[in-house]
């Protein structure tokens, strides 16, 4: 078919132009579709970028290892809620130098074997900068060498360390100072004592008792020969102390029972059921938060961390302060963290927290409590600083 005389193609040929007219077909539709897709992408790209989530700042992980299940779970409950509260507060304030803290919690149930597994898991995570734990003497002793080998700082709460290292710090009084305070709390004119328990504090307590002219005798029976002890010192878990004290009393034994932090556990009263007129005391650097002035708002915030949160116990405040202590040291940067940690000071609900040359809490305040027949813990004296 010939082109019409005045068709565009004929007009173009007259002017020296040659071209072909494209009729609608598959090629034209495909080209228009590609162009349309490119236009849509150009229009939607800014919208998609605006809808994308903001880039999150890098995080620094803090390990928390405690017994969350088993017979010592009351320790873990104190620790986890206090740690969550501290991390939440620090992150709301912008984190540490713009980096958020993230809590990585492991349950070791107070078991040395499980404690070692938790320590190894934390040591292989490069984002973990420090660990708070393990709250029990046996589990803490089992892992301290692992943390030193991994060059991962451990801030031990509720337990003593058996060696010194830049990577180890115990948020407990020096054992010798704590032992001196325990001996000073015993009744006057008593010279026969028994000691239940082992570990660094038990070793220091033996030395303090010898220096105070006490004679250590076994607590076998109230009718034993030589004479039975007048004062019993227990560093055992609250369940074991409660069972031993109940058996001692049932056999006709009398005297005074004095313990450290372990005796603050409510399991003691549940088993031993303190009687009227009994002298049962414990001395601790970790008071019940309700006994400190100005903690009402803190206790309310603690209990608002989650549903059905019980009142905070003695391990809550030291865990909370430990998080803030680590955050303060991290402000110097991860590369200077270890060196800074040994010199950092925290002033909070527990007073001044700083490290002494032996890796312990330099100037703790010690609190004297008494167990009542109502199974309540009564604060007798507050504000006694461990002797320096």
Q: What is the pLDDT of residues 253-262, one digit of tens each?
A: 889 999 999 9
Question: What is residue 227's DSSP assignment?
Answer: P
Average pLDDT, the chain: 88
Helix, strand counts (H, E) of the chain: 12, 14
What length does the chain have?
388
Q: For residues 318 and 158, is the Cβ–Cβ distance under 8 A?
A: yes
Of residues 108, 127, 125, 119, the one with CA closest to residue 144:
119
Q: Over 80: is that where the pLDDT of 55 sits?
A: no
What tokens does 244 get? 């031993």
Chain centre distance of CA 320: 7
Pick 342 or 386 by higher pLDDT. Answer: 342
pLDDT score of 219: 83
Average pLDDT over residues 18-33: 48
Q: For residues 82 and 73, is the Cβ–Cβ distance under 8 A?
A: no
Query: What residue has token string 């991994």?
Result: 150
Residue 42, φ and ψ in degrees, nearest 5: -65, -35
Distance (Å, rounded) from C-alpha 386 to C-alpha 177? 6
Q: Over 80: is that where the pLDDT of 102 sits?
A: yes
| Angle 198-203-206 from CA coordinates, rounded to 5° | 110
Judged by average pLDDT, the poorest of 15-24, 51-60, 284-293, 301-310 is 15-24
pLDDT score of 223: 75
Q: For residues 364 and 383, is the Cβ–Cβ distance under 8 A?
A: no
Indicate the pTM of the whole model. Answer: 0.84
What tokens does 215 get? 């004679």
Q: Over 70: is that where the pLDDT of 21 sits?
A: no
Cis peptide before 226 (omega within 30 of 0): yes
Pick 226 or 150 by higher pLDDT. Answer: 150
Q: Over 80: is that where the pLDDT of 36 sits?
A: no
Q: How confident is the model at residue 7 (pLDDT cuts 50, 70, 90)?
A: very low
Judged by average pLDDT, the poorest of 34-43, 158-167, 180-189, 265-274 is 34-43
Q: For residues 368 and 286, is the Cβ–Cβ distance under 8 A?
A: no
Q: Over 90: is that where the pLDDT of 116 sits?
A: yes
pLDDT score of 221: 77
Q: Over 80: is that where the pLDDT of 46 sits?
A: no
Structural domains for the chain: 59-173+289-355 (3.40.50.2300), 176-284+369-385 (3.40.50)
Helix 296-303 vs helix 73-92: crossing angle, to nearest 10: 100
């Amino acid at each position: 078919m010939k082109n019409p005389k005045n068709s565009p193609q004929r007009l173009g040929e007259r002017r020296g132009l040659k071209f072909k007219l494209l009729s609608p077909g598959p090629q034209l539709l495909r080209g228009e579709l590609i162009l349309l897709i490119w236009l849509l992408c150009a229009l939607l790209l800014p919208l998609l970028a605006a809808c994308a989530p903001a880039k999150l700042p890098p995080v620094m992980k803090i390990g928390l290892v405690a017994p969350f299940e088993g017979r010592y779970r009351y320790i873990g409950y104190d620790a986890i809620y206090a740690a969550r509260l501290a991390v939440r507060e620090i992150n709301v304030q912008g984190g540490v130098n713009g980096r958020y803290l993230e809590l990585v919690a492991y349950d070791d149930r107070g078991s040395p074997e499980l404690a070692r597994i938790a320590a190894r898991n934390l040591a292989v995570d490069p984002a973990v900068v420090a660990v708070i734990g393990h709250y029990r003497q046996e589990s803490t002793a089992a892992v301290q060498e692992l943390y030193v080998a991994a060059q991962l700082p451990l801030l031990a709460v509720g337990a003593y360390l058996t060696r010194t290292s830049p990577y180890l710090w115990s948020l407990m009084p020096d054992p010798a100072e704590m032992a001196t305070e325990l001996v000073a709390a015993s009744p006057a004119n008593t010279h026969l004592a028994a000691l239940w328990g082992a570990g660094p504090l038990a070793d220091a307590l033996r030395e303090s008792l010898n220096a105070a002219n006490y004679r250590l005798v076994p607590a076998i029976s109230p009718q034993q020969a030589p004479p039975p002890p007048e004062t019993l010192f227990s560093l055992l878990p609250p369940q074991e102390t409660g069972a031993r004290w109940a058996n001692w009393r049932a056999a006709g034994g009398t005297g005074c029972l004095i313990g450290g932090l372990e005796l603050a556990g409510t399991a003691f009263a549940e088993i031993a059921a303190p009687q009227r007129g009994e002298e049962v005391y414990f001395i601790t650097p970790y008071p019940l938060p309700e006994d400190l002035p100005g903690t009402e708002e803190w206790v309310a915030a603690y209990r608002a961390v989650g549903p059905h949160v019980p009142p905070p116990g003695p391990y809550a405040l030291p865990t909370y302060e430990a998080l803030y202590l680590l955050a303060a040291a991290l402000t110097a940067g991860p590369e200077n963290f270890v060196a800074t940690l040994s010199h950092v000071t925290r002033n909070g609900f527990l007073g001044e927290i700083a490290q002494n040359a032996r890796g312990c809490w330099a100037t703790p305040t010690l609190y004297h409590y008494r167990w009542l027949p109502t199974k309540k813990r009564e604060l007798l004296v507050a504000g006694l600083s461990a002797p320096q």
